[in-house]
C-alpha cells in the first residue's frame, strides 16, 4: 500500500503540532482510516510506519481519544503489534477492548500484561475467545476471585490438571467459583469429589448429578460389552435399588450375587462398586481384566467368600468367564493374600489408576 503524500507531509510536521490541537487528533483518524479502510493489504514496512505514527499521535492526546481508538481497532488483524501492545498496557478503559479482542497479541504478550497489570486487566484477558494453558495458569496464580470465576466460566479457556486443582482449592472459599467449576465439562471426577465437603446443598446436588452422569456412560459401555443379551432395568431404578439396600444395611455379598443370578448387570456393577467403596469406572475395569487377579484382590479386600469369588469369576458378566482354567489360580491367589494386604493393594491400584496385576 503506497503511503499518501499528504499524510507524509502532515506527519513531517507532527512535532510542531501542540498536544491540544484538533489537527493532531484529525491526523490520527486520517492515518487510521488509511491503514484500516484500504482494500489492499499493507506491506510490513507500511504497517510498522503507520503504527509508529499512530502511537505517537494517540499517546500525545487525552485518554478518551485512546479509548475510542482502542474500541475501533481492537479486533483488527492489521493493527500494528507495538501499538496493540502499548494500548494493552494502558489504563483499563483503553486496554479492555484490546485485551478482550486483539488477534495480534500473542500468548507471551498477554502473560506479560497479566504479570504486571491490574486485576481489571486480568479480568479482561479472561474474556478472550481463546485462553491458552500457560496464560490460564498465570491468571489463576495472580487473579482474584472475580478473575478466576471469569476464567473458569470461559468454555474456551484451556485449563491443565494442575490449574484445575488450583481453581478447586480457591473455590473452597468462594461459592461463585465452585458453581463455575462444576459447570465445566473438563473437570476430573476426583476434583468434583474433593469439593463435596465444601459446597452448598445446591452445588452438592449438581456435583452428584454430574458424577452419576459420568458413571452412566461407563455403565452403558459395560452393558453393551457383556456377553449375555440380558434385558437391563432402567439405570435410575437400578441406582434407587442400590441406595435402598444401603439404607437398610442389606447391601452385602448375597445381594451382589443375587444380581448375578437374576441377570441384572447394572445392579451388579453398581452394587459391587458401592460394596467395595470404589467408583464405577474402577469396578468396571476390575471385572473386565482378563486374568481375574484384580478381581481376586478386590474380593479378598472386602471379605467376599471363596464361593462368592468363584461365582463372580464364572459369571458371563466378567471377563474371566471365557477361560474356566483361570478359576483355580484365582482361588489360590485369594487364599495366599491377607485381607489387609489385599486392601492395601486395592487402594494402590485405584490411586495409581492402573491394574498392575497381569
Q: What value does the mean pLDDT take over residues 188-215?
A: 77
How far does CA 244 lie from the centroid of its chain?
34
Q: What is the DSSP letter of 267?
A: H
Distance CA 108, CA 88 (A): 13
Q: Which of 20-24, 129-133, 270-274, 347-351 is most confident?
A: 129-133
Distance CA 57, CA 125 (A): 26
Cell 471363596 identifies what position? 306
pLDDT digits (tens, 9 = 90+) for 20-51: 556 888 889 988 888 887 777 777 888 888 88
Q: What is the pLDDT of residue 70?
A: 96
Q: What is the pLDDT of residue 196?
A: 78
> What is the C-alpha radius of gyration for the chain, rounded to an integer number of angstroms?
32
Lowest model confidence (mean pLDDT) among 128-137, 189-198, 338-347: 189-198
Cell of 319: 471377563
What dihedral do alpha carbons 55, 57, 58, 64 form, nearest 10°? 180
Q: What is the pLDDT of residue 227?
A: 39
Q: What is the pLDDT of residue 120?
A: 97
Q: Where do the H-state alpha helices sit in 226-264?
A: 235-247, 253-261
Q: What is the DSSP letter of 69?
A: H
pLDDT digits (tens, 9 = 90+) for 45-94: 888 888 898 999 999 899 999 999 999 999 999 999 999 999 999 999 99
pLDDT digits (tens, 9 = 90+) for 275-334: 888 888 888 888 888 888 889 999 999 999 999 999 999 888 888 877 778 888 888 989
Q: What is the pLDDT of residue 22?
A: 66
Cell 485512546 identifies what position? 66
More confident residue, 191 or 224: 191
From residue 236, give the alpha-carbon distance in Å to each of 197, 240, 243, 271: 25, 6, 11, 13
Q: Provide the pLDDT confidence category of residue 226 given band limits of 50, 70 and 90.
A: very low
For 157, the 3-state DSSP assignment is strand
Angle (CA) 268-250-312 rounded to 5° is: 30
Helix and strand numbers (H, E) in the chain are: 22, 0
pLDDT at 214 over 70: no
For 131, the 3-state DSSP assignment is strand
Task: Name 204's Cβ contacts closer than 8 Å, sequence gap at least 6.
Answer: 196
For residues 28 and 13, the answer to whether their CB atoms sit within 8 Å is: no
Cell of 94: 483503553
Q: What value does the mean pLDDT take over residues 168-197?
A: 86
Q: Provide the pLDDT confidence category of residue 232 given band limits of 50, 70 and 90.
A: very low
Backbone angles phi, psi at 157, to 5 degrees: -85, 130
pLDDT at 19 over 90: no
For residues 10 and 27, the answer to whether their CB atoms sit within 8 Å is: yes
For residues 43 and 84, the answer to whether their CB atoms sit within 8 Å is: no
Cell of 269: 456393577
Amino acid at each position: 500500500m503506497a503511503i499518501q503524500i499528504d499524510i507524509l507531509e502532515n506527519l513531517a510536521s507532527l512535532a510542531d503540532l501542540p498536544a491540544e490541537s484538533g489537527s493532531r487528533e484529525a491526523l490520527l483518524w486520517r492515518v487510521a482510516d488509511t491503514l484500516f479502510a484500504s482494500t489492499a493489504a499493507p506491506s510490513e514496512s507500511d504497517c510498522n510506519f503507520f503504527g509508529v505514527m499512530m502511537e505517537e499521535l494517540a499517546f500525545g492526546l487525552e485518554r478518551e481519544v485512546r479509548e475510542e481508538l482502542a474500541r475501533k481497532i481492537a479486533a483488527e488483524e492489521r493493527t500494528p503489534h507495538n501499538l496493540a501492545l502499548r494500548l494493552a498496557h494502558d489504563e483499563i478503559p483503553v486496554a479492555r477492548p484490546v485485551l478482550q479482542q486483539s488477534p495480534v497479541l500473542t500468548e507471551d504478550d498477554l502473560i506479560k500484561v497479566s504479570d504486571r497489570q491490574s486485576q481489571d486487566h486480568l479480568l479482561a484477558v479472561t474474556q478472550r475467545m481463546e485462553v491458552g494453558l500457560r496464560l490460564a495458569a498465570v491468571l489463576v496464580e495472580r487473579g482474584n476471585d472475580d478473575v478466576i470465576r471469569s476464567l473458569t466460566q470461559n468454555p474456551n479457556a484451556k485449563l491443565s490438571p494442575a490449574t484445575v486443582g488450583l481453581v478447586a482449592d480457591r473455590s473452597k472459599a468462594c461459592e461463585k467459583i465452585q458453581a463455575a467449576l462444576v459447570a465445566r465439562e473438563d473437570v476430573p471426577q476426583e476434583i468434583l469429589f474433593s469439593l463435596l465437603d465444601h459446597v452448598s446443598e445446591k452445588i452438592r446436588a449438581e456435583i452428584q448429578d454430574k458424577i452419576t452422569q459420568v458413571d452412566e456412560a461407563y455403565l452403558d459401555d459395560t452393558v453393551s460389552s457383556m456377553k449375555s443379551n440380558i434385558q437391563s432395568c432402567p439405570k435410575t431404578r437400578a441406582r434407587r435399588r442400590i441406595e435402598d439396600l444401603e439404607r437398610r444395611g442389606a447391601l452385602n455379598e448375597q445381594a451382589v450375587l443375587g444380581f448375578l443370578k437374576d441377570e441384572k448387570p447394572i445392579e451388579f456393577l453398581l452394587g459391587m462398586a458401592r460394596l467395595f467403596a470404589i467408583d464405577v469406572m474402577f469396578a468396571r475395569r476390575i471385572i473386565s481384566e482378563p486374568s481375574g487377579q484384580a478381581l481376586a484382590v478386590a474380593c479378598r479386600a472386602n471379605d467376599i467368600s471363596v464361593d462368592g469369588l468363584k461365582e463372580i469369576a464364572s459369571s458371563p458378566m466378567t471377563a474371566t468367564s471365557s477361560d474356566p482354567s483361570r478359576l483355580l489360580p484365582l482361588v489360590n491367589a485369594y487364599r495366599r493374600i491377607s485381607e489387609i494386604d489385599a486392601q492395601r493393594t486395592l487402594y494402590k491400584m485405584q490411586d495409581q489408576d492402573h491394574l498392575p496385576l497381569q
